[in-house]
Homo-oligomer: A and B are copies of this chain.
Amino acid sequence: MNKSISLKSRPVGTPTLSNFEFKEVEKPQIKEGEVLLQLKFVSVDPYLRGRMSDAKSYIPPFELDKAISSGAIAEVVESKNDNYKVGDFVSGHLDWQEYQVSEGKNLLKVDGAQVSLSAYLGVLGMTGLTAYFGLSEIGKPKEGETIVVSGAAGAVGSVVGQIGKILGCRVIGIAGTDEKVEMLKSKFGFDEAINYNTTKDMQKAIAEASPDGVDVYFDNVGGEISDAVHANINRFGRVVVCGAISMYNATEVPMGPRVQGFLVKQSALMQGFIVGNYQEKFPEGMKQLVTWLQEGKLTYEETRVQGFDNIPNAFLQLFEGKNKGKMIVEI
């Protein structure tokens, strides 16, 4: 028995369970040079929404009726490849399928002795690197500057805020529940945190939390929250456009205040990126994140959902903000 999850139909607006198909497929046989992998942890991330539509983007869309894929940790359960032995754990971009064959390329061996294996999907994986490179390569915060982070309680945002503190900045987080706001301050060391669901005037709240204005805005959400931050951007401010979860399920192009005004007035920058742009620097980024983690300067939060069949549910919950930190499915 080998379960697999594929895309049945392309979501229009907010995805639902009906967009996914649960199949049973044969457990595959491996050939010389291959390994058989058993999924252990699956990462679900907002960017996967983009791959479910067939609009042109930086990665090709998922194909209908084929297994969906994402970052995952698996155990090697059979091996005809000298580089891997049974019992090894690997991180890679894998199918949502319990057992799958790999030629061993593009897999990274991971070790659960020091940190949880799932950390390689979060703080030591794609989301940690996204935070690290987005902030260091685009945000370029200087000591004493003010950083605002939206989606601050998420996998990327919580790492961005902590790096900001390590670098000596004032850090303001924006999140959607009081519990998250509390976590940002007590667990992650943010200077201030704002609950956008209970704050009437976000522009004013950000201004009050940022008496010296906002030098770097690390944006994971887009939409009206971002409009409110833009209004507080300092001269030579930098807006790191990492994601726009508030816009991913829109069925029409979302409209908002045009940005040219504040960009010219403040000589400000907005720059989009994907973590893959910095692939050559991944080892450097990983080394820094591991060091901070070992020094106790960096911590992380996970929301774990149990069971292979719940991968789509966990994905859908991202859009309801159900996760604190990295959303992980444990198989």
Contacts and interface: CB of A to CB of B under 8 A. Distances in A.
A264 B272 contact: yes
Contact of A273 (B257, B261, B267, B272): B267
Interface residues of A, number: 37
A217 to B, nearest CB: 12
B267 A244 contact: no
A133 to B, nearest CB: 11
A253 interface: yes
Contacts of A210: none
A240 to B, nearest CB: 10
Given A58-B265, A58-B267, A265-B58, A260 B247 contact: yes
Nearest to A221: B260
Nearest to A248: B261
Given A255-B257, A258-B254, A258-B255, A270 B264 contact: no
B272 A263 contact: yes
A243 interface: yes
A127 interface: no
B258 A223 contact: yes
Nearest to A50: B265
Contacts of A274: 264, 267
Interface in A241-281: 241-244, 247, 253-274, 277
A219 interface: yes
A272 B267 contact: yes
A10 interface: no
B264 A273 contact: yes
A57 interface: yes
A222 interface: yes
B261 A244 contact: yes
B254 A242 contact: no
Given A256-B256, A258-B247, A258-B254, A272 B266 contact: yes
Given A267-B277, A277-B267, A261 B247 contact: yes
Interface of A: 50, 56-58, 219, 222-223, 226, 235, 241-244, 247, 253-274, 277
Given A244-B260, A264-B274, A270-B270, 13 more contacts: A50-B265, A222-B258, A223-B258, A241-B260, A256-B256, A259-B270, A264-B273, A267-B271, A267-B273, A268-B271, A268-B272, A269-B270, A270-B271
